[in-house]
Protein backbone atom coordinates (compact mmCIF):
# COMPACT_ATOMS: atom_id res chain seq x y z
CA UNK A 1 0.00 0.00 0.00
CA UNK A 2 2.94 2.34 0.59
CA UNK A 3 4.35 2.14 -2.94
CA UNK A 4 2.10 4.16 -5.20
CA UNK A 5 1.80 7.56 -6.83
CA UNK A 6 -0.18 10.42 -5.42
CA UNK A 7 -0.29 12.47 -2.25
CA UNK A 8 -1.17 12.03 1.39
CA UNK A 9 -2.09 15.05 3.47
CA UNK A 10 0.36 14.80 6.37
CA UNK A 11 0.51 17.30 9.26
CA UNK A 12 -0.66 20.23 7.19
CA UNK A 13 0.60 19.62 3.66
CA UNK A 14 0.20 17.25 0.74
CA UNK A 15 3.20 14.90 0.83
CA UNK A 16 4.23 12.45 -1.91
CA UNK A 17 2.58 9.09 -1.08
CA UNK A 18 5.89 7.19 -0.66
CA UNK A 19 7.33 9.82 1.70
CA UNK A 20 4.45 9.84 4.20
CA UNK A 21 6.38 7.89 6.87
CA UNK A 22 6.65 7.76 10.66
CA UNK A 23 9.29 6.58 13.15
CA UNK A 24 9.21 3.03 14.62
CA UNK A 25 9.02 4.51 18.15
CA UNK A 26 5.66 6.11 17.40
CA UNK A 27 3.47 5.91 20.51
CA UNK A 28 0.42 5.11 18.39
CA UNK A 29 2.14 1.97 17.10
CA UNK A 30 3.21 0.69 20.54
CA UNK A 31 0.23 1.72 22.67
CA UNK A 32 -2.61 2.16 20.12
CA UNK A 33 -2.97 5.87 20.82
CA UNK A 34 -4.51 6.21 17.37
CA UNK A 35 -7.96 6.98 15.99
CA UNK A 36 -9.19 6.98 12.43
CA UNK A 37 -12.14 7.46 10.09
CA UNK A 38 -13.44 5.72 7.00
CA UNK A 39 -15.29 7.88 4.48
CA UNK A 40 -16.43 7.59 0.91
CA UNK A 41 -16.43 10.19 -1.82
CA UNK A 42 -19.09 9.85 -4.51
CA UNK A 43 -18.82 11.99 -7.63
CA UNK A 44 -15.87 13.77 -5.99
CA UNK A 45 -17.75 14.77 -2.82
CA UNK A 46 -17.37 13.08 0.57
CA UNK A 47 -20.67 11.82 1.95
CA UNK A 48 -21.37 13.28 5.45
CA UNK A 49 -17.85 14.73 5.58
CA UNK A 50 -18.40 16.99 8.58
CA UNK A 51 -20.01 14.19 10.63
CA UNK A 52 -16.92 12.08 9.99
CA UNK A 53 -14.51 14.91 10.88
CA UNK A 54 -16.49 15.54 14.08
CA UNK A 55 -16.37 11.86 14.99
CA UNK A 56 -12.59 11.85 14.42
CA UNK A 57 -12.11 14.79 16.77
CA UNK A 58 -14.40 13.14 19.33
CA UNK A 59 -12.65 9.76 19.03
CA UNK A 60 -9.34 11.48 19.85
CA UNK A 61 -10.91 13.32 22.77
CA UNK A 62 -12.15 9.99 24.16
CA UNK A 63 -8.54 8.74 24.02
CA UNK A 64 -7.37 11.86 25.85
CA UNK A 65 -5.75 13.81 23.05
CA UNK A 66 -6.65 16.83 20.97
CA UNK A 67 -6.17 16.92 17.22
CA UNK A 68 -4.44 20.24 16.44
CA UNK A 69 -6.90 21.08 13.64
CA UNK A 70 -10.52 22.19 13.78
CA UNK A 71 -13.36 20.22 12.18
CA UNK A 72 -13.53 22.87 9.43
CA UNK A 73 -9.78 22.53 8.79
CA UNK A 74 -10.05 18.74 8.64
CA UNK A 75 -12.97 19.04 6.21
CA UNK A 76 -10.91 21.37 4.02
CA UNK A 77 -7.81 19.13 4.15
CA UNK A 78 -9.99 16.17 3.16
CA UNK A 79 -11.45 18.01 0.17
CA UNK A 80 -7.94 19.07 -0.85
CA UNK A 81 -6.69 15.46 -0.72
CA UNK A 82 -9.66 14.07 -2.65
CA UNK A 83 -9.11 16.74 -5.32
CA UNK A 84 -5.35 16.07 -5.47
CA UNK A 85 -5.94 12.34 -6.00
CA UNK A 86 -8.47 13.12 -8.71
CA UNK A 87 -10.85 10.21 -8.10
CA UNK A 88 -14.60 10.69 -8.50
CA UNK A 89 -15.41 7.73 -6.26
CA UNK A 90 -12.91 6.97 -3.51
CA UNK A 91 -12.35 5.83 0.03
CA UNK A 92 -10.93 8.37 2.49
CA UNK A 93 -8.85 7.44 5.52
CA UNK A 94 -7.97 10.15 8.05
CA UNK A 95 -5.84 8.93 10.97
CA UNK A 96 -4.59 10.79 14.07
CA UNK A 97 -2.00 9.48 16.52
CA UNK A 98 0.54 10.26 19.23
CA UNK A 99 4.04 10.67 17.83
CA UNK A 100 7.51 9.44 18.84
CA UNK A 101 8.60 12.14 21.31
CA UNK A 102 7.85 10.07 24.43
CA UNK A 103 8.04 6.31 25.09
CA UNK A 104 6.00 4.66 27.82
CA UNK A 105 2.39 4.28 28.82
CA UNK A 106 2.29 7.94 29.81
CA UNK A 107 2.96 10.17 26.84
CA UNK A 108 1.30 13.45 27.74
CA UNK A 109 3.87 15.56 25.90
CA UNK A 110 3.77 13.67 22.61
CA UNK A 111 2.96 15.53 19.44
CA UNK A 112 -0.39 14.74 17.80
CA UNK A 113 -0.25 13.97 14.10
CA UNK A 114 -2.95 13.85 11.43
CA UNK A 115 -2.79 12.25 8.00
CA UNK A 116 -5.44 11.81 5.31
CA UNK A 117 -5.09 9.23 2.54
CA UNK A 118 -7.45 8.65 -0.39
CA UNK A 119 -7.61 5.60 -2.62
CA UNK A 120 -9.99 3.70 -4.83
CA UNK A 121 -11.92 1.04 -2.96
CA UNK A 122 -14.85 -0.09 -5.07
CA UNK A 123 -18.01 -1.55 -3.54
CA UNK A 124 -17.28 -5.00 -2.20
CA UNK A 125 -19.96 -6.54 -4.45
CA UNK A 126 -22.06 -5.63 -7.47
CA UNK A 127 -25.78 -5.08 -6.81
CA UNK A 128 -26.55 -8.54 -8.19
CA UNK A 129 -23.82 -10.27 -6.18
CA UNK A 130 -24.94 -8.41 -3.09
CA UNK A 131 -28.44 -9.80 -3.41
CA UNK A 132 -27.03 -13.31 -2.96
CA UNK A 133 -26.04 -12.38 0.59
CA UNK A 134 -22.68 -12.79 2.32
CA UNK A 135 -21.85 -15.55 4.79
CA UNK A 136 -20.98 -14.63 8.38
CA UNK A 137 -19.34 -16.82 11.01
CA UNK A 138 -19.75 -16.24 14.74
CA UNK A 139 -16.80 -14.22 16.00
CA UNK A 140 -14.58 -15.82 18.64
CA UNK A 141 -14.39 -12.45 20.47
CA UNK A 142 -17.07 -10.21 21.96
CA UNK A 143 -17.24 -6.42 21.86
CA UNK A 144 -15.99 -5.12 25.22
CA UNK A 145 -18.36 -3.37 27.61
CA UNK A 146 -18.25 0.44 27.65
CA UNK A 147 -16.66 0.30 31.10
CA UNK A 148 -13.83 -1.89 29.74
CA UNK A 149 -12.86 0.31 26.79
CA UNK A 150 -13.80 3.66 25.20
CA UNK A 151 -16.18 1.88 22.82
CA UNK A 152 -17.65 5.07 21.30
CA UNK A 153 -14.23 5.97 19.90
CA UNK A 154 -13.17 4.75 16.47
CA UNK A 155 -9.91 3.78 18.14
CA UNK A 156 -7.32 1.63 16.37
CA UNK A 157 -6.94 -0.57 19.47
CA UNK A 158 -10.56 -1.69 19.31
CA UNK A 159 -9.90 -3.23 15.90
CA UNK A 160 -7.52 -5.89 17.29
CA UNK A 161 -10.42 -8.24 18.06
CA UNK A 162 -12.06 -7.31 14.75
CA UNK A 163 -9.02 -8.37 12.74
CA UNK A 164 -8.67 -11.60 14.76
CA UNK A 165 -12.35 -12.38 14.21
CA UNK A 166 -12.35 -11.57 10.51
CA UNK A 167 -9.17 -13.56 9.88
CA UNK A 168 -10.67 -16.61 11.58
CA UNK A 169 -13.91 -16.25 9.58
CA UNK A 170 -11.98 -15.92 6.30
CA UNK A 171 -9.83 -18.95 7.14
CA UNK A 172 -13.06 -20.94 7.49
CA UNK A 173 -14.43 -19.68 4.15
CA UNK A 174 -16.75 -16.93 5.45
CA UNK A 175 -16.67 -13.28 4.37
CA UNK A 176 -16.94 -11.72 7.82
CA UNK A 177 -17.74 -12.42 11.46
CA UNK A 178 -20.67 -11.33 13.59
CA UNK A 179 -19.72 -10.19 17.07
CA UNK A 180 -21.82 -10.37 20.22
CA UNK A 181 -21.62 -7.71 22.92
CA UNK A 182 -20.27 -8.37 26.42
CA UNK A 183 -23.75 -9.54 27.57
CA UNK A 184 -24.24 -11.94 24.66
CA UNK A 185 -26.62 -9.78 22.60
CA UNK A 186 -26.05 -9.21 18.87
CA UNK A 187 -23.60 -6.33 18.31
CA UNK A 188 -22.13 -5.81 14.82
CA UNK A 189 -19.80 -7.25 12.20
CA UNK A 190 -16.09 -6.37 12.30
CA UNK A 191 -16.57 -3.15 10.33
CA UNK A 192 -20.30 -2.63 9.80
CA UNK A 193 -23.53 -2.37 11.78
CA UNK A 194 -26.37 -4.90 11.74
CA UNK A 195 -30.07 -4.74 10.79
CA UNK A 196 -32.71 -7.48 10.96
CA UNK A 197 -36.02 -7.33 9.09
CA UNK A 198 -38.76 -8.91 11.20
CA UNK A 199 -42.31 -8.77 9.83
CA UNK A 200 -41.55 -5.66 7.78
CA UNK A 201 -39.89 -3.66 10.60
CA UNK A 202 -36.16 -2.94 10.97
CA UNK A 203 -34.55 -4.07 14.21
CA UNK A 204 -31.04 -2.95 15.10
CA UNK A 205 -28.96 -3.31 18.28
CA UNK A 206 -28.60 -0.28 20.59
CA UNK A 207 -25.03 0.99 20.00
CA UNK A 208 -24.05 1.11 23.67
CA UNK A 209 -20.80 -0.86 23.30
CA UNK A 210 -19.82 -0.35 19.67
CA UNK A 211 -19.76 2.31 17.00
CA UNK A 212 -23.03 4.12 16.24
CA UNK A 213 -22.29 4.17 12.52
CA UNK A 214 -23.07 7.15 10.34
CA UNK A 215 -24.46 4.73 7.74
CA UNK A 216 -26.58 3.10 10.46
CA UNK A 217 -28.21 6.43 11.30
CA UNK A 218 -28.65 7.22 7.60
CA UNK A 219 -30.39 3.88 7.00
CA UNK A 220 -32.70 4.42 9.95
CA UNK A 221 -33.76 7.76 8.41
CA UNK A 222 -34.21 6.24 4.95
CA UNK A 223 -36.29 3.37 6.34
CA UNK A 224 -38.55 5.75 8.29
CA UNK A 225 -38.94 7.88 5.16
CA UNK A 226 -40.29 4.75 3.48
CA UNK A 227 -42.75 4.31 6.32
CA UNK A 228 -40.95 1.34 7.90
CA UNK A 229 -40.84 0.98 11.68
CA UNK A 230 -37.31 1.10 13.10
CA UNK A 231 -36.76 -0.50 16.47
CA UNK A 232 -33.53 -0.13 18.46
CA UNK A 233 -33.30 -2.80 21.12
CA UNK A 234 -31.13 -5.45 22.73
CA UNK A 235 -31.42 -8.39 20.34
CA UNK A 236 -30.64 -11.91 21.57
CA UNK A 237 -29.00 -14.16 18.93
CA UNK A 238 -32.10 -16.44 18.93
CA UNK A 239 -34.05 -13.60 17.29
CA UNK A 240 -32.16 -14.29 14.08
CA UNK A 241 -34.61 -17.20 13.65
CA UNK A 242 -37.43 -14.62 13.37
CA UNK A 243 -35.72 -12.48 10.71
CA UNK A 244 -36.75 -12.67 7.06
CA UNK A 245 -33.87 -10.47 5.89
CA UNK A 246 -30.58 -9.36 7.46
CA UNK A 247 -28.09 -6.78 6.21
CA UNK A 248 -24.93 -4.94 7.25
CA UNK A 249 -24.32 -1.23 6.79
CA UNK A 250 -21.17 0.86 6.89
CA UNK A 251 -19.23 3.39 4.89
CA UNK A 252 -17.11 0.72 3.18
CA UNK A 253 -19.77 -2.03 3.18
CA UNK A 254 -22.57 0.38 2.16
CA UNK A 255 -25.68 -1.88 2.37
CA UNK A 256 -24.63 -5.54 2.20
CA UNK A 257 -27.29 -8.26 2.53
CA UNK A 258 -26.45 -11.31 4.62
CA UNK A 259 -27.42 -14.83 3.52
CA UNK A 260 -26.05 -16.78 6.45
CA UNK A 261 -25.05 -16.33 10.10
CA UNK A 262 -23.97 -19.54 11.81
CA UNK A 263 -26.93 -21.92 11.63
CA UNK A 264 -29.37 -19.25 10.33
CA UNK A 265 -30.24 -18.68 6.64
CA UNK A 266 -31.78 -15.55 5.08
CA UNK A 267 -32.92 -14.61 1.61
CA UNK A 268 -32.22 -10.98 0.70
CA UNK A 269 -35.54 -9.52 -0.41
CA UNK A 270 -37.47 -6.31 -0.96
CA UNK A 271 -36.24 -4.44 2.13
CA UNK A 272 -32.57 -5.11 1.27
CA UNK A 273 -33.20 -4.04 -2.33
CA UNK A 274 -35.00 -0.86 -1.22
CA UNK A 275 -32.26 0.13 1.23
CA UNK A 276 -29.53 -0.50 -1.36
CA UNK A 277 -31.39 1.69 -3.87
CA UNK A 278 -32.22 4.47 -1.40
CA UNK A 279 -28.68 4.60 0.01
CA UNK A 280 -27.13 4.64 -3.44
CA UNK A 281 -29.42 7.47 -4.55
CA UNK A 282 -28.71 9.50 -1.41
CA UNK A 283 -24.90 9.25 -1.46
CA UNK A 284 -24.83 10.36 -5.07
CA UNK A 285 -26.94 13.46 -4.43
CA UNK A 286 -25.99 14.55 -0.90
CA UNK A 287 -22.19 14.95 -0.83
CA UNK A 288 -20.49 17.81 1.00
Instruction: Spell out the alpha helix ranges (H) of the chain.
Output: 27-31, 49-62, 71-85, 127-130, 160-171, 214-225, 270-283
Distance CA 284, CA 270 (A): 21
Q: Residue 176 interacts with ligand PMP (CB under 6 A)?
A: no
Identify which of residues 112 and 220 has a Cβ nearer to ligand PMP in the complex.
Answer: 220
* Stretch binding ligand PMP (CB under 6 A), from 25-33, 212-220, 237-245, 268-276: 212-220
Cβ-Cβ contacts under 8 Å for 104 (sequence gap 6 or more):
none
Annotation says 154 is catalytic: yes
* Stretch binding ligand PMP (CB under 6 A), from 6-14, 110-118, 208-216, 260-268: 208-216
Q: Residue 41 interacts with ligand PMP (CB under 6 A)?
A: no
Distance CA 234, CA 223 (A): 19
| Total residues interacting with ligand PMP, rule: CB under 6 A | 14
When binding is defined by CB under 6 A, the residue of 99, 150, 191, 209 that contacts ligand PMP is 191
Q: Residue 188 interacts with ligand PMP (CB under 6 A)?
A: yes
Q: Residue 250 interacts with ligand PMP (CB under 6 A)?
A: yes
Determine contact, residues 246/192, Cβ cutoff 8 Å: no
Specify burial of residue 89 (Cβ count, 10 A radius: 0-12, 13-18, 19+).
middle
Q: Residue 256 interacts with ligand PMP (CB under 6 A)?
A: no
Q: Residue 213 interacts with ligand PMP (CB under 6 A)?
A: yes
Identify which of residues 53 and 100 has a Cβ nearer to ligand PMP in the complex.
Answer: 53
Identify which of residues 114 and 211 has a Cβ nearer to ligand PMP in the complex.
Answer: 211
Q: Residue 205 interacts with ligand PMP (CB under 6 A)?
A: no
First to last CA, the chain: 27
Identify which of residues 188 and 245 has a Cβ nearer to ligand PMP in the complex.
Answer: 188
Q: Residue 211 interacts with ligand PMP (CB under 6 A)?
A: yes
Q: How far is the CB of 248 from ligand PMP (least distance, A)?
A: 9
- The active-site residue, picked from 130, 154, 166, 242, is 154
**SS3 call for 288:** coil
Distance CA 161, CA 148 (A): 14
Q: Residue 216 interacts with ligand PMP (CB under 6 A)?
A: yes
Q: What is the 3-state secondary structure (H, E, C) of 214-270?
A: HHHHHHHHHHHHCCCCEEEECCCHHHHHHCCEEEEEECCCEEEEEEEECCEECCCCH
Count the Cβ atoms, other than its own, within 10 Å of residue 103: 13
**Which residues form the interface with ligand PMP (CB under 6 A)?**
38, 162, 188, 191-193, 210-211, 213-216, 250-251
The set of catalytic residues is: 154
Amino acid sequence: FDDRDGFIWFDGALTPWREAKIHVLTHGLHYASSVFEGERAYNGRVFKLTEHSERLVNSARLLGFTIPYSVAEIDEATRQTVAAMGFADAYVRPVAWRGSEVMGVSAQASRIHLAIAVWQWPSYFSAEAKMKGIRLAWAPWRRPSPDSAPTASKAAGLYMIGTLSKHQAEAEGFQDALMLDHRGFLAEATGANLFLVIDGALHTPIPDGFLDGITRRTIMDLARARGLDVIERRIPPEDLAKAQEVFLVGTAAEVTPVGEIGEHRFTPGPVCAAMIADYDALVRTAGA
